[in-house]
Amino acid sequence: MESIAGSRLESLILNTLRSMACEPDDVALDAGLKALDIDSLDLVELAQVVEDEGNLAIPAADLRGAITVRDVVDRYLGAVA
């Protein structure tokens, strides 16, 4: 199975984070993960969703240090490149 790429990957990440955030309408690429109340356990769950639905696996540890939603998306896009 081929992995997800580009805008579909970004949409999957954004929609998954919206389902986790206290204020889903605040989820945007430049939003801070702390401001959205997204913690390390949420990032582990996100990694599982992207692996299951997007057929793209990266270690959840690779998401550590991400500050914004864009950081998360960029780390996944880097794995595709």
Q: What residue ranges do the domains of the chain occupy?
A: 6-80
Half-sphere exposure of 49 (CA within 13 A, CB side): 18
**CATH node for 6-80:** 1.10.1200.10
Question: What pLDDT score was predicted for residue 2?
Answer: 59
Is residue 32 within 8 Å of 10, Cβ to Cβ? no
Question: What pLDDT score was predicted for residue 3?
Answer: 61
pLDDT in tens, 33-76: 999 999 999 999 999 999 999 888 898 889 989 999 999 999 99
Question: What pLDDT score was predicted for residue 52?
Answer: 94
pLDDT in tens, 65-79: 999 999 999 999 888
- Give the whole-angstrom CA distance, residue 11 versus residue 17: 10
In this prediction the pTM is 0.88
